Amino acid sequence: MGEKELDREYYAKEIEELLRKREEAEDWGIAVVLNGEECDDVPVGASKLGGLPDLPPGIDYPECEAFIDEKSDKYFKRVKLPLICQFNLADLAEYEVQDDLPKSGMLYIFWNGGDPGYFEEKYGIHTLRAYYWKGDISTLTRREADPDTEVRPEKKVSFSTHKDIVDMEESEWEDMLDELRYELESDCKEQGIDCSEVEEYDKIQDMFYMDDKTDIYGGDKLSGARAGCKYNDPEVWNGFLQLDEHTGSLWYAYIDIRMSKVNGKYYYNEEDIEWQEWNEIGARVDYDAD
């Protein structure tokens, strides 16, 4: 028997249906992917992970307050917090989908890896702080940390549009592809056809390696849905930073930022936010979102 007896129209429709299901499961709310490359020459005012912060004139380096640990009776002195990231928001503007962030200025996140909720409730100290500054980038200067500050490796970052599959498990996607591929292989065998010469078979093979499929559970990104799920409520927390390996935490940590919580005051209408030059914004860490 020849290849003409293979119902290729059937397989073309099945492939189209799988791609439709995949598209329905994708989330386009993810604004950026961060591609970190360790280096030591990131320019002042550039977007980066780790390193020392580039701060505005007259602004003190954010710190974690001193405290005494009740369990060990050990005294921890006031210390400057490690920089997790600084992002020049002008770099993000063309990629942002949800319009959660200002289009210019700098976003800073500082964190020493300690559980922010626990330490604030237990000791009244801040292990996590986030800031938005809307001034002139050219006025920033690089600041030194304390000797006890665990400065993270400095990494240059770039940005691009990103999407995730949030309603489909990776195994579910591969199982559907496997089932269709096995069906086509069986039909080809019955017809005496070499599968490698069938266009639809090549398409199914390529679908296993679609570029964005590899980002279902991982990747560094800012804003949008979290890895593998749609746990994102823009009415409550309108931005988050997901970093695979850069937080120093033993847990998979998601850093939420809340641009509507400014200097301790909540704004329910973004247009009413009273932005100052330097603004402390809401921040929290969630270890259980995945």
Residues 45 and 133 in one domain: yes
Q: Are strands 265-266 and 54-55 parallel, antiparallel or unpaired?
A: unpaired
Same domain, 93 and 209: no
> Is residue 44 situated within a structural domain?
yes
Domain assignment of residue 138, given as a range: 32-164+230-286
Q: Does the pLDDT of residue 213 top 90, yes or no?
A: no
Q: What local confidence, expressed as pLDDT, does residue 269 receive?
A: 79
CA angle 217, 222, 227 (to 5 degrees): 15
Question: How many angstroms separate the CA atoms of 191 and 184, rounded?
Answer: 11
**85 occurs within a structural domain:** yes
Q: Which residue has the tokens 């996607």?
A: 173
Question: Three-state SS for 85?
Answer: strand
Q: Are residues 51 and 149 in the same domain?
A: yes
Q: Say whether pLDDT at 182 is over 50.
A: yes
Is residue 219 one of the residues assigned to a domain? no
Structure tokens at 9: 């129209």
Are 61 and 159 contained in the same domain? yes
Instruction: Name the band, by pLDDT with cuts 50, 70 and 90, for residue 90.
Output: very high
Is 220 a member of any domain? no
Q: What's the confidence (pLDDT) of residue 250?
A: 45
Q: What is the pTM of this model?
A: 0.74
Same domain, 39 and 60: yes
**Do 71 and 109 fall into the same domain?**
yes
- Which tens digit of pLDDT belongs to each residue from 116-150? 988 998 999 999 999 999 999 999 999 999 999 99
| Digit-coded pLDDT (tens) for 216-263 | 345 677 776 665 455 555 555 556 777 755 444 445 567 888 888 899
Q: Are residues 115 and 239 in the same domain?
A: yes
Query: What is the C-alpha separation between 237 and 37, in angstroms, rounded?
Result: 29
Residue 81 domain-assigned (yes or no): yes
153 and 63 share one domain: yes
Co-location of 110 and 153 in the same domain: yes
Assigned domain for 143 exists: yes
Mark whether 39 and 120 lie in a shared domain. Answer: yes
What's the number of domains the chain is made of? 2
Is the same domain home to 25 and 36?
Answer: no
Considering the domain boundaries, does residue 8 fall inside one?
Answer: yes
pLDDT, position 267: 87
